[in-house]
Amino acid sequence: MAQAIHSEIQAVVDNAALLSERTAFFRKTRRGHVVKVVEESYLRTDLGLGSRNGQTMTREDMALSTGLSWIVPDTNVVLHQMDFLENSGCSALDSIVILETVADEVRHNNLSVHRRLLRLLGHEGRKVIWFANEHCQDTHVRRRPGESPNDWNDRAIRVACSWFASQLSGAAEVAMLSDDRLNRAACQGGHKALSVGAFARSLEAEHPGVGDLVADFSDDAPASLQPQGQPQGQRGGQRGGSRLSGPGAAARESLYPEYLGKEQVEQRLMSGSLFKGTLRVRHGGRWDDAYVVVQSGSERVSVGVAGERVNRATEGDIVAVEILPRSEWTNPSEDKPKVPEDEEETEAGICEATSAPRPGDLESLAPGPRKRSDSKKPEEPTGRVVAVLRRNWKSLCGSILMESDESRPAKGGHASVLVSPVDKKIPRIKIQTRQLESLVGKRIIVAIDSWPCDSRYPKGHYVSTLGNIGEKSVETAVLLLEHDIPTGDFSGEVLACLPPEGWSITEENMVGRRDLRHLPVMSIDPPGCRDIDDALHWRQLPSSDNWEVGIHIADVTYYVEPGSPLDLEAANRSTSTYLVDRRLDMLPKMLTEKLCSLVGHQDRFAFSVILEVTPDGQIVDADFCKSVIHSIGAHTYGEAQEMLDDPNHPEKVKAEAVLKLNHLAKIFRRRRMEAGALTLASPEVRFVLDTETQNPLDVAMYALKETNALVEEFMLLANITVGKKILRHFPTLSLLRRHPAPNKAQFTPLVSAANAVGVDIRIGDSRELADSLDAAVRLDDEYFNKLLRIMCTRCMAPAQYFSSGEQAPEDWHHYGLATPIYTHFTSPIRRYADVVVHRLLCAAIGVAPLPPQLMDKSGLHELAENMNRRHRAAQLAGRASVGLHTQLYFKARPAVDEPAYVMSVMREKVVVLVPRFGIEGTIWLKADVEGGRVSYDAEAHTVVVDRGAQGARVTVKVFEAVKVHISVQTAKADGKPSLKVLMTQPPLGDQPSDDPSALTGAVISKRKGREGEGGSGAEKKQKDKK
């Protein structure tokens, strides 16, 4: 659709124009320079009444039945009321005219909404018309002297509406939708002008509930309550506040301070008295327990923002922060806002791979004397939000809370209720609805519209209903929406890029490839794996004592042309997402499971890395080529392990290859460990699913075999070898993967906890850390070392994709793998990063030129950013899927008692890990017990429950083995089931039932890498970690 619109505009320029107008004006750049801008407009008289899917509309085409009107929304209606406009269940919204002026303003203000607008224009079942009003001679409007851009565009919209009304007189009515009173009042020319609210109310009789879709933006709010400094685009901005109106509305008490004005914020940012950054909620915290990482000079510092100082900012908002005096700086663990009883955590969380940045002490941040504090507890600069520069609001999943003072029953047809988001980083949202009874007990989608300073909660509106709370399909839809995972089918445009059915490899299409079909290539994967990216071969070289090892990777780029719709879709999805019971592919199944998958006994195109290696693991030579291979077998890890274990295995060629490859893998692994590579861990689990319902029948820890490590070593070797090759040829354009060395402060809690049990964790460098982890062994407890490695993993930042031209060479290092250069090459079926690297390698060996889009550094930066975002989202979605299936497993069974380990001890809670299920539970402690007390020793990492005469004295210490009772409970507020963990051994007695455990899902076991990479509903590969 976007291409059709651009083609139409281009046709205006390319064809003979009746009139050309030139406009010149001056504008100031961001750096303060004044530049002259000249715009030339080509005006035409042959544009008809617009176009629908490329077809020019006539008066007859646009005739409507009595009672219906053509709706012409202004810019702010499109920006803020897309949920209403997208409603396809209301005939009055099926006839819409989108003006060029409006579309351009939307594109400049919000690209996400602009993409939704393009999808609306392409809707097959509705009459949504595109009209190039700025290129039509009858509707073109010249800017008047002194006229603001907003007023100019508003006038252009009114002129277009009047013209449409005159053209369609007697055939259809025209109605302009605008929430700007002044804009409506200025309308002339025989068409209606309505606010969205008034229009929705006129539809309620025939379409009950349509008003729920109206966003909470209205120009009826008192000016004193409208946030100051709200960011506005150059071509139109937000002009609305809340629905608050009526007698006494302006007198309501403000709960939050108003934002500073835009000019004041800009001045103070330049002077250094304010800092700009993104608000992030602390891991495991509430929405108002946050921090902002700010830049001051060469240092990045975490500034704590808590309670009312968050000032209506939400997770992901870009904010301006004022640093408080040093006397108000605090220890972050002691500065958490108290959780009201009606807002305690009630749902499973997600196990974060990293913790929030640790507090830093920046001398230049704030003047004044230092507040006295425990020297062992570092202070964190504290600040308050004084302005929101850019909102991160999006549609959210949640459920209605009925047990709240803020929820009121229906009154005059409307009910004011609170929605509790699934994502606890977001505050509760107040909405109004006419369909309360049908929404209770449902998962619904809502959107935040505004947050007046006199409201405890943000205001929003209902969007749609997903289904009943707790149902597997509904909760899966929730986790996919929450993590913004693309779930739509591939479009016809994308599928048209695929080869025709029956396509096969022939002598003609393999010209230029090296024919390696004679080599004993084989793959080793989890059971049921269909998207086989990689295969290996080994053979003795006939001319020397050396060996030849081949690492063969599916040649996805042969089928995915750069810049094609298929390529653009893959770049947007960026990664396949693996849930417990399904796989959401980056590429269509024709490629992932058929043409690209290196299945056994089929010819396949590959990109091969051929290594000459000595028997003692010295690499003599490396060669790269496009090839055609023929796998002699697709084997599971278990089958390959049998070849290792059985010296008399009947398949001697394969068995010998596996033995030799394993011999080399052990050498490569030993060298990596000696260089300082880390062996980390995660609480991975494996589900056994019912073949019909896909519900979990069993769950257990995932056991790795020696063959998992074999394949992993060769994937790592290929990634490192290819990374060095592309970097030599493209030193500023290579897509690499870096893993920064962790801040030592991030290890402070782990080091302290380990010291408390007599274990010394040294973090001078990765080699020291690896050695100390290797030495941290308990002969009577094998799991202790794995628990340490799990906790160590969480002290590190995740690895990131980046373009080599954006970072200094010393910052390319991969800390976890202890290698200076690393990239991703071995999984192009499921990762777009590997597709990019294949193209770079192709150009490096002279097979094909580098695509133009990979020569653009800014484009590479955007690609890498999207890869990082999508990769993280896929990780979290996979973990949430594990959490959901764990919950379903327990829901269908009676409560169980299981061994667990204490991960951390605090004054009010103990966090435990249950190895069998890979889940973490928070066990809450009462501050006081009858006849006794609870004491906490932070240095010893112990909590003592002394029940006095009522019972024994119980001590719980970090890393201690305990027993817990796991059951499913249902939240009273919204009916959401969740897991509950209570400690039974040692017996802690009564444990608060109204402080539910915050359980986190384990990392999905079916994995090709430690960062959420791999597998399907069957198992996935343990490959190319980091």
**What DSSP designation does 544 have?**
S
Of residues 297, 1003, 272, 359, the one with CA closest to residue 684: 1003
Q: Decide: residue 143, CB within 10 A, 0-12 exposed, 13-18 middle, 19+ buried.
A: middle
Of residues 98, 97, 71, 64, the one with CA closest to residue 168: 64
The reported pLDDT for the residue numbered 692 is 77
The reported pLDDT for the residue numbered 697 is 79
Rg (CA), the chain: 31
Strand partners, 72: 176
Whether residue 663 has pLDDT greater than 90: yes
The reported pLDDT for the residue numbered 22 is 60
Q: Tally Cβ neighbours within 10 Å of residue 25.
A: 11
Backbone angles phi, psi at 855, to 5 degrees: -95, -5
Give the Cα separation of 732 and 723 in Å (integer): 13
Whether residue 405 has pLDDT greater than 70: no
- 693: Cα within 13 Å, side-chain hemisphere: 9
Strand partners, 69: 173
The reported pLDDT for the residue numbered 339 is 38
The DSSP-derived string for 646-664 is -TT-S-HHHHHHHHHHHHH
How many Å is the maximal CA-CA distance in the chain? 98
> Average pLDDT, stretch 621-629?
97
- Residue 407's pLDDT band (boundaries 50, 70, 90)? low
Bigger pLDDT: 189 vs 933: 933
Whether residue 1023 has pLDDT greater than 60: no
Task: Note whether 26 and 36 are within 8 A (CB).
Answer: yes
Residues 6+ apart with CB under 8 A from 363: none
pLDDT digits 0-9 by tens, 772-800:
999 999 988 989 999 999 999 888 888 99
Q: Tally Cβ neighbours within 10 Å of residue 1.
A: 16
| Cα dihedral 50, 56, 60, 63 sign | negative
Task: Note whether 88 and 123 are within 8 A (CB).
Answer: yes
* Helix, strand or coil, per DSSP, at residue 835: helix
The reported pLDDT for the residue numbered 925 is 82
Give the Cα separation of 698 and 892 in Å (integer): 11
Helical axes 652-675 vs 637-645, angle rounded to 10° = 100
Residue type, 978: S
> Average pLDDT, stretch 309-336?
82
Tell me which of 39-48, 201-210, 232-241, 798-807 is least confident: 232-241
Give the Cα separation of 695 and 475 in Å (integer): 13
Give the Cα separation of 559 and 500 in Å (integer): 11
User: Residue-wise over 74-89: b if at least 16 C-beta within 10 A, else e?
Assistant: bbbbbbbbbbbbbbee
Bigger pLDDT: 36 vs 943: 943
Task: Note whether 401 and 421 are within 8 A (CB).
Answer: no
Q: Decide: residue 949, CB within 10 A, 0-12 exposed, 13-18 middle, 19+ buried.
A: exposed
Tell me which of 180-189, 512-521, 629-638, 880-889 is least confident: 180-189
For a pLDDT cut of 90, what percent of the chain falls above it?
A: 52
Residues in the chain, how many?
Answer: 1026
The reported pLDDT for the residue numbered 930 is 54
- Residue 1000's pLDDT band (boundaries 50, 70, 90)? very low
The DSSP-derived string for 555-607 is -GGGTS-TTSHHHHHHHHH-B-EE-SS-EE-SS-HIIIIIISS--TTSEEEEE
Of residues 372, 284, 389, 396, the one with CA closest to residue 921: 284
Whether residue 24 has pLDDT greater than 70: no
Whether residue 8 has pLDDT greater than 70: no
Scanning the structure block, which residue is given the tokens 């039932």? 993
The reported pLDDT for the residue numbered 503 is 94
Of residues 74, 797, 83, 72, the one with CA closest to residue 393: 83
Could you give the dihedral angle defined by the CA atoms of residues 195, 198, 203 and 207, in that order, rounded to the nearest 10 degrees? 90
pLDDT digits 0-9 by tens, 247-299:
344 456 789 999 999 899 999 999 889 999 999 998 777 888 999 988 877 67
Q: For residue 616, what are its two tokens?
A: 């003692």
| Cα dihedral 794, 778, 914, 963 sign | negative
Bigger pLDDT: 558 vs 918: 558
- Residue 1004's pLDDT band (boundaries 50, 70, 90)? very low
Q: For residue 313, what are its two tokens?
A: 């900012």
pLDDT digits 0-9 by tens, 83-134:
999 988 888 899 999 999 999 999 998 888 998 999 899 888 889 999 999 9
Scanning the structure block, which residue is given the tokens 């709706």? 71
Give the Cα separation of 675 and 771 in Å (integer): 11
Of residues 755, 819, 818, the one with CA closest to residue 788: 755
Task: Note whether 989 and 1001 are within 8 A (CB).
Answer: no
The reported pLDDT for the residue numbered 617 is 95
Give the Cα separation of 786 and 903 in Å (integer): 12
Bigger pLDDT: 17 vs 896: 896
Q: Mean pLDDT, the chain, as a whole number? A: 83
pLDDT digits 0-9 by tens, 849-884:
999 999 999 899 999 999 999 999 999 999 999 989
Tell me which of 469-473, 546-550, 615-619, 669-673 is least confident: 469-473
Q: For residue 338, what are its two tokens?
A: 């108290």
For a pLDDT cut of 70, what percent of the chain falls above it?
A: 82
Bigger pLDDT: 371 vs 270: 270
Q: Tally Cβ neighbours within 10 Å of residue 647.
A: 8
User: Residue-wise over 915-925: b if at least 16 C-beta within 10 A, else e?
Assistant: bebbbbbbbbb
Task: Note whether 943 and 955 are within 8 A (CB).
Answer: yes
> Average pLDDT, stretch 909-927?
86
Give the Cα separation of 901 and 983 in Å (integer): 11
Give the Cα separation of 671 and 336 in Å (integer): 45
| Cα dihedral 639, 641, 643, 646 sign | negative
The reported pLDDT for the residue numbered 642 is 94
The reported pLDDT for the residue numbered 949 is 59
The reported pLDDT for the residue numbered 551 is 98
Bigger pLDDT: 951 vs 455: 455
pLDDT digits 0-9 by tens, 698-733:
887 778 899 999 999 999 999 999 999 999 999 999
The reported pLDDT for the residue numbered 953 is 82
- 189: Cα within 13 Å, side-chain hemisphere: 20
The reported pLDDT for the residue numbered 344 is 38
Give the Cα separation of 633 and 645 in Å (integer): 18
The reported pLDDT for the residue numbered 147 is 87
Tell me which of 233-237, 556-560, 615-619 is least confident: 233-237
Strand partners, 433: 415
The reported pLDDT for the residue numbered 588 is 96
